[in-house]
Each structure stands twice: as C-alpha cells, then as structure tokens.
Amino acid sequence: MTQTGDGYGKKRILVVDDAAIILSRIWDALRNDYEVTMVNSGIRALKYLEQENTDLILLDIRMPLKDGIQTLREIRAMKDRKDIPVIMLTGVEDSHSVLESAKLGICDYILKPFHEDDLRNRIQRALDPDGRG
C-alpha cells in the first residue's frame, strides 16, 4: 500500500483498457479513493506487474494484440501476482468470455457502459469480501 498525506494507505488499482474514454471515466470515479494506475494494453499491464504490485485489477476483455483473457492467463501464471482480485470489463454480454474468465478466477465482471456507483461498490466488495473494512 502507498502512504498518503493523511497517513492512511490507499489501495492500488491497475486499470487495463484500450479505450481512452473508459480510462478517463474510471480515473474520475476512483482517483479520490484509490491509487489508480492506467495502461492501455495487456502487454503494458504485464510489464507493469513485473515491477509493481497492485491490490486489484480492472481488465477489459476485448483489446487488440493481447486480449483480457490472454492477459489474465499470464497474470495467473506469475508467481507473486496470481491471487490479485480481477474484475473483468466487457462491452458486450459474451457468456463464453465471462465463463472463461471465471475459470481463471475473476471475482466479478462489469458490463460497459457502467454506472460509477456500481463500479465503486463492486471494487469495494472485491477488496473487502467479508465486509469488515
């Protein structure tokens, strides 16, 4: 966790989406409560995770070059990153992709366009599944 000026640590969220508008909306929704890092590809997400840790990943399913499923498979194969909670983002209801993601251990998925309150609530549940925090 990262220390902030108020002495409390903020949870770190890695957002992976190739759409700048989605990254912007997520940044606006989360920046006050979390330390948010945004990348626009699965390849960049994997490079980031080689150097840095994160408390949660928001991962788009449909991206060029390396889609969210491929990226998630590689994250799950990383020694110290395999247990990071992942919420998949998808622009279409694609039951095959959601099922494939579930097999790889996602904690939730969100359909785009999303409501910011729903996004924050799902992140909170993923970060605190027992409701203690």
pLDDT of 131 strictly over 80: no
Tell me how far apart the alpha carbons of residues 19 and 33 are, in angstroms, rounded to a whole number.
22
Residue 40 lies in a domain: yes
CATH of the domain at 25: 3.40.50.2300
* Radius of gyration of the CA atoms of the chain, in A: 14
Residue 76 lies in a domain: yes
Q: What confidence score (pLDDT) does residue 127 get?
A: 95
Mean pLDDT calculated for residue range 53-63? 96
For residue 48, the tally of other CB atoms under 10 A from its CB is: 17
Residue 53 lies in a domain: yes
Q: 96 pLDDT band (50/70/90 cuts)?
A: confident
Mean pLDDT calculated for residue range 94-117? 89
Domain limits for position 55:
8-127
Q: φ, ψ for residue 94 (rounded to 5)?
A: -120, 95
Residue 133 lies in a domain: no
Tell me how far apart the alpha carbons of residues 82 and 8 are, in angstroms, rounded to a whole number.
26
Determine which of 59-73, 95-109, 114-128 has the lowest per-residue pLDDT on average: 95-109
DSSP state string for 36-84: EEEESSHHHHHHHHHH---SEEEEES--SSS-HHHHHHHHHHSTTTTT-
Residue 106 in contact with residue 75, Cβ under 8 Å?
no
